[in-house]
Chain A
Amino acid sequence: MGAILTTDRLTKNFGGLTAVNDVSFSLEQGEILGLIGPNGAGKTTLINLISGAFPPSKGTITFEGRDITREKAHTVNTLGIARTFQVVRIFSRLTALENVLAAMVDRKHKGPWSLVWDSFFRRACALTEDKEACATADSLLDFVGISKYRNEQAGNMPYALTKRLEIARALATEPKLLLLDEPSSGLNPAELTGQIDLIQKINAQGTSILIIEHVMKVIMGISHRLIVLHYGEKIAEGEPKVVYNDPLVVEAYLGGDSDAQH
Chain B
Amino acid sequence: MSARLRNILLWVVALAALILLPQVVEDRYFMHIAVMAGIFTILTLSWNLLAGYTGQLNLGHAAFYGIGAYTSAILAMQTGLSPWLGLFAGGLVAALFGLMLGFPALRLSGPYLAITTIGFAEILRLVAMNWVDLTRGSLGLSGVPLLTPIQIGDFRMQFYFERDYYYVVLAAVLFTLFCIRRLIGSEFGVTLQAMRDDEAGAQSIGINPSSYKLAVFTISAFFAGFAGGLFAHFARLVSPELLALHNTFDVLTMAMIGGLGTIAGPILGAVSLTILSEALRSMEEVLKIDIRLIVYGLLLILTILFMREGLVGVIKNVWARVKGDS
Contacts and interface: CB of A to CB of B under 8 A. Distances in A.
A173 B205 contact: yes
- Size range of the chain A interface in the assembly: 35 or more
A78 B182 CA distance: 25
A192 interface: no
B215 A77 contact: no
Contact of B182 (A51, A105, A120): A120
Nearest to A114: B188
B174 interface: no
B188 A115 contact: yes
B188 A119 contact: yes
A172 interface: yes
Interface in B209-254: 209, 211-212, 214-215, 219
B201 A91 contact: yes
B208 A72 contact: yes
Contacts of B193: 91, 93-94, 98, 102
Interface string B177-201: 0010011011111110110111011
A241 interface: no
A217 B200 CA distance: 29
Contact of B205 (A93, A120, A172): A172
A115 B205 contact: no
Nearest to A128: B185
B197 A74 contact: no
A118 B206 contact: no
A115 to B, nearest CB: 4
Given A72-B208, A91-B193, A93-B193, A105 B201 contact: no
Contacts of A105: 187, 190-191, 206
- Size range of the chain B interface in the assembly: 20 to 34
Given A115-B186, A127-B190, A77 B206 contact: yes
A92 interface: yes
Contacts of B185: 119, 125-128
Interface in A167-215: 169-170, 172-173
B23 interface: no
Given A102-B191, A113-B215, A116-B219, A74 B183 contact: no
B188 A118 contact: yes
Contacts of B200: 53, 73, 85, 89
Nearest to B204: A83
B206 A115 contact: no
A222 B263 CA distance: 47
Nearest to B205: A103
Contacts of B198: 89-92
A91 B194 contact: yes
Nearest to A79: B206
B186 A123 contact: yes
A75 B189 CA distance: 20
B203 A73 contact: yes
Most B CB contacts (10 A, CB to CB) among A53, A82, A89, A110 go to: A89
A94 B192 CA distance: 11
Contact of B201 (A85, A101, A107, A126): A85
A148 interface: no
B190 A102 contact: yes
Contacts of A126: 185-186
B203 A77 contact: yes
A90 B261 CA distance: 18
Contacts of A102: 187, 190-191, 193-194, 202, 205, 207
A173 B188 contact: no
A78 to B, nearest CB: 5
A76 to B, nearest CB: 9
A108 interface: yes
Interface of B: 179, 182-183, 185-191, 193-194, 196-198, 200-209, 211-212, 214-215, 219, 261
Given A94-B197, A105-B191, 15 more contacts: A72-B208, A73-B203, A82-B205, A90-B201, A91-B197, A98-B193, A101-B187, A102-B194, A102-B205, A105-B187, A112-B188, A112-B212, A119-B187, A123-B186, A126-B185
Interface of A: 51-53, 72-75, 77-78, 82-83, 85, 89-94, 98-99, 101-103, 105, 107-108, 110-113, 115-116, 118-120, 123, 125-128, 166, 169-170, 172-173
Q: Which 4 pairs across A and B sit closest by C-beta, in order of nearness? A: A119-B186, A126-B185, A89-B201, A107-B206
